[in-house]
Amino acid sequence: MRFASSKNDSSEQTVSLEDYVARMKEGQKAIYYITADSYIAAKNSPHLELFNKKDIEVLLLSDRIDEWMLSYLTEFDGKQLQPITKADLDLGDLADKEQEEQKEQDKAFSSFIERVKTLLGERVKDVRLTHRLTDTPAVVSTDNDQMTTQMAKLFAAAGQPVPEVKYTFELNLEHHLVKKVADLADEAEFANWVELLLEQAMLAERGSLENPTAFIKRINSLLA
């Protein structure tokens, strides 16, 4: 088996699992990967931002069979294969500092998080702050026990019933847009910005929106 990798600037699938393990960082315990509709979508996913920052290699999977294969290929050489799109992503020793910083931010901005949760209600599974992003204001992720976005797409394409996927909405407090939203007192304006950030995150994750017209109207309204 050969894969494309975040270490290469090419969609060619040339990296073996042996190659990946040989390049693993000190303290790294898992083989990280992401599945997407295309190589370009995988290469530019916001989920990669923290990994690029820390120079941690990620396998980029975009073949239709990949999502099925990973249901059975769960480890190699004693190391778990771990998707980077999960809400409970564990970087172990590679992210101790970020985890401590996030705990402090969670306490300081708990009222902001509760405000977003109240607004979105049952539409999301959870809302939290995140340190997995650098240039992107928000991202959505799924829990380990939930179906992935790509698997849901495969079920839908095969005409199979697809269970509802509820995402965890993760906000990057280091981004200027999120800082702006956190300081908004006007409830209508606050709601409009939160909806926009969620729609952006859903678009990046799924490649489409249920109501793209509402998304465009919201952008135009905020730009005006």
pLDDT digits (tens, 9 = 90+) for 163-220: 888 899 999 999 999 999 999 999 999 999 999 999 999 999 988 898 999 999 999 9
Q: How confident is the model at residue 145 (pLDDT cuts 50, 70, 90)?
A: confident
User: Residues 106, 178: one domain?
Assistant: yes
pLDDT digits (tens, 9 = 90+) for 117-135: 999 999 999 999 998 899 9
User: Residues 77, 113: one domain?
Assistant: no
Which domain, by its residues, includes 22? 4-93
Please name the residue ranges forming H helices in 133-173.
Answer: 149-157
Average pLDDT of 53-82?
A: 92
Is 80 exceeded by the pLDDT of residue 103? no
Which is nearest to 51 in space by CA: 73, 67, 78, 30? 30
Residue 57 tokens, joined: 């290699």
pLDDT at res. 97: 60
User: Residues 85, 146: one domain?
Assistant: no
Domain count, the chain: 2
Q: How far apart are CA 48 and CA 41, in angstroms?
A: 11
The pLDDT mean for the chain works out to 90
- Only one residue has tokens 């990620």, namely 58
